[in-house]
A and B are shown apart, each in its own frame.
Chain A
């Protein structure tokens, strides 16, 4: 097995801490990532349905709301994706680099695909609402993001299978290999569809227009249900392909499935009681927790598969606690600052409205 030798420079923190940061930041990335993939598919569907149905105003409105939201969600998908990419290279570099080199062309293909997909989202968000190219731009965005998903599945699944690397490299050194696993891709896709359903339901509950709100809620519920229900066969198929199914894995899979179903139930309740947006948020929260449970499960699978090939030398320690301390404090400040900016931003129209009302009352007085 062609495993790279241990790096002479030690890890800057214990492996458990770096693994925890990897799982934490990956979970943070997973939320906007699934919303980007699922949301783009949903916006495309709505865009096409708006053009094909007799009264497509509801679908048109949903598509517009989604296209407006998606560039921001994608921006956070990319920004939050940087940290897990950093930590996986640090903790599992000896597995990650060979797998990415073997699949180099496709792995590098993520960059142009992201540019196209993300660029098309901005085109949708900023462009003319009636333009005829809109469905095509939406299709390009959806295909790009599905392409990125497939590439990640290919490279990341190869990361955990060093046994096949030597034959692959002997066959070609040109980085043209492909290691796609359909069950894993379907597993992610079903999660993305369910999360997009949750997003639509939340949009529906926040909408002031009753007709549009009802459509978005029902449509969201249908997508969330489809995502969660299809996840059962897809997840089981994926589960059966895993090389190791020991320990916490089964409880985590059950927990993820349970949280998904709880989320779905919350959407159902939110749908029945139309004036209960908090249930829709709970539903989305349930789905998110399910996704986080799956992220932990994914880490355990990787760790179980790779641990026989990890030596003490790979994880020897050269700690940098002072710099880590600065990062930890800065991360808290960053979350606080971003939270402050977003809260102030979201309150801005209400404040502007209150000022206008006060001014009007003063004039009347």
Chain B
């Protein structure tokens, strides 16, 4: 609660992060898997002196540069900006723990950017050997960016021994590191194959298309050998609460989990019965549908990963609303201790509801909007003030994926008054109808 909250109307901070993150993950994982795709394809083309392959790769590399260096890099910056705005406290903690990890990733980022730009501008300029070297340098550097960033992302869900020893290495190589690396590598290969299908059906020479489509489908099929292994492994190492949330304790998370699995099976089946078995019949429309399904799957998987981390932003260390897990209730209350409280105390606010709004901002608004995504208004419909106060008091006990309320009784009652009045208009209409 050291940092100000940015009120994002209707969307809420969580959904804003999700939108930016899903787009970035979708592109950046393609950029990682696409590195291996590009290196293998370049080697194959030069070894066979296949001009049609080379011609295809020339077009594909233009698309690849736009996707990775333009969209990948800029949406990566977007992630930085967004998490700093929505979860400044958690971002600050992560940077203090992992700054050298990010600095190491930045070195690989510099290498991959240089290598892919030289590869792209190297057509007709550099010899085959150097061109292949550039592709392999890109492939290696891009995978290493994933290997590093995976340590930080997986840490947020399974910080493991870091909670006791505070060691950088325990944080990076946390219990979820390898399962998530296996999953993300699988996703990267699948996306490389699917993007490859799009460019192959769109730009490849007709004589080449069939071979190329079949080749791309192998990336998708290989990926699906890795993906379920990583997913099951991850479920084994997360906390019992996370596992329960994924498997049914929280309906939205479980539904999204199921949807992601169903979509994955559909992609696998489509890749096998389409491009792998009947490559000649694969069209650009088919490839685009596969791409759309892959986007939905990526979004679903990321959403589930975020969902099973509740009520924490960094598991067992910091709650989603910026409160530390070991933080004790301050008898002065959250309005007096939070730096960015508008009023500083319930009795200094013009009304109890205004004080409640301030408490809502400090305790709830990092996850909940008023009206919109995860909106609180429909959630408290029909609540009376006494019922609301009781719920707030025992929030973390009633619902496992909610953090505890850190305020005083006066702040709790102010928050309850604020929540109840959100549906006041509807309640009045209902009462009038009853009369």
Contact = CB atoms under 8 A, between A and B. Distances in A.
Interface of A: 2-5, 7-12, 72, 75-76, 78-83, 85-87, 89-90, 93-94, 96-98, 100-102, 104, 107-108, 110-111, 114-115, 118-119, 122, 126, 165, 169-170, 173-175, 318, 320, 322-324, 326-327, 330-331, 333-334, 337-338, 341-342, 344-345, 348-349, 351-352
Interface stretch (B104-112, B371-379, B406-414): B104-112
Nearest to B361: A173
Contacts of B97: 9, 12
Contact of A78 (B73, B88, B122, B361): B73
Interface in B1-55: 2-9, 20
B107 A331 contact: yes
Q: Which of B88, B137, B324 has the most A CB atoms < 10 Å from its CB?
A: B88
A345 to B, nearest CB: 5
Given A83-B106, A349-B125, A122 B130 contact: no
Interface residues of B, number: 65
B104 A173 contact: no
Contact of A173 (B7, B114, B125): B7
B96 A170 contact: no
Contact of A323 (B3, B6, B100, B126): B100
Contacts of B427: none
10 contacts: A4-B339, A9-B96, A78-B73, A97-B92, A98-B340, A108-B81, A115-B71, A322-B168, A323-B100, A330-B104
A256 B114 CA distance: 30
Q: Which of A11, A72, A342, A351 has the most B CB atoms < 10 Å from its CB?
A: A72
Contacts of A338: 110-111, 114
A21 B92 CA distance: 18
Contact of A79 (B84, B95, B109, B127): B109
Contact of B70 (A83, A119, A341): A119
Contacts of A122: 65-66, 70
A244 B74 CA distance: 35
Nearest to B113: A79
B69 interface: yes
Nearest to B16: A108
Q: Which of B4, B66, B134 has the most A CB atoms < 10 Å from its CB?
A: B4
Interface string B335-371: 0000110100000000000000000010000000000
Contacts of B93: 7, 9
B125 A348 contact: yes
Interface string B57-89: 000001001100111011111101110110010
Nearest to B340: A2
A96 B73 CA distance: 22
B152 interface: no
A322 B166 CA distance: 14
Interface string B182-211: 000000000000000000000000000000
